[in-house]
Amino acid sequence: MRRISYQIIIGTILLILGVLLLLRAAGIYDTGQLLVYAPSVIVLFALISLIKSEFRSVSGPLILIVIFGTIQAVALGLASSDIILPVIIIAVGLGFIFNRIRRPSIRERVTDKVEMMAILGGVESRNSSKAFRGGEMLAIFGGADLDLLPVLGGAEDERRRPRARGDGASDGSFQGSSGQPDLIITGFVAFGGVTVKD
């Protein structure tokens, strides 16, 4: 059974949130009670990003979790709105500290497909699978770097040309001869960048 892409999951959540906002703005239906939980969506994104990076990229998701977790608590009446600004300052400070102390390490992979997600931070991965088929990358206010040198290295006539799709994507790969199969990496980039190199 084919697994549902995390990009489809996130896209569906954003679509539902947008429809709720539109219904409220158009006066068709008061979705205010549902929108109270909107900050939890951002917290969910950050948690997914943490899990996808296997806790190697911590600072960006941590900032989002602390800030939007606090906003959610205020929206539910569990905390005073006076604490939002101090919490934002603390979260940004923690982000700088985590980013300095624990820089994201490069993940070594031997899987046929990759899934990379970067939110307010960077993710680096190196894949050495001999049967690599492609993957998905998502970068929101962050960057994702995929190194395929272990896969595509060797003699020039044996190297393939990766093709990166998405805004802000750069292809630092070797331009192989025509007739060779293309390696396709699909991705979504919002205020960030994706790099594929071999």
42-75 tens-digit pLDDT? 888 888 777 776 676 677 778 888 888 888 898 8
State the pLDDT confidence band at 181, using cuts at 50, 70 and 90: low
How open is the CA angle 78-91-41, to the nearest 5 degrees? 60
Q: In whole angstroms, what is the distance from residue 67 CA to residue 158 CA?
A: 48
User: If you ran DSSP here, which 8-state letter would residue 3 be given?
Assistant: P
Amino acid at 101: I
Tokens found for residue 95: 């982000």
Distances, alpha carbon 146 to alpha carbons 33, 57, 107, 111, in Å: 42, 15, 9, 13
| Predicted local distance difference test score (pLDDT) of residue 122 | 66
Give the number of residues written for the chain: 198
Whether 132 and 1 have beta carbons less than 8 Å apart is answered as no
133-158 tens-digit pLDDT? 677 777 766 677 777 765 444 433 33
Say if residue 37's pLDDT is above 70.
yes
Q: Which residue has the higher pLDDT, 46 or 197?
A: 46
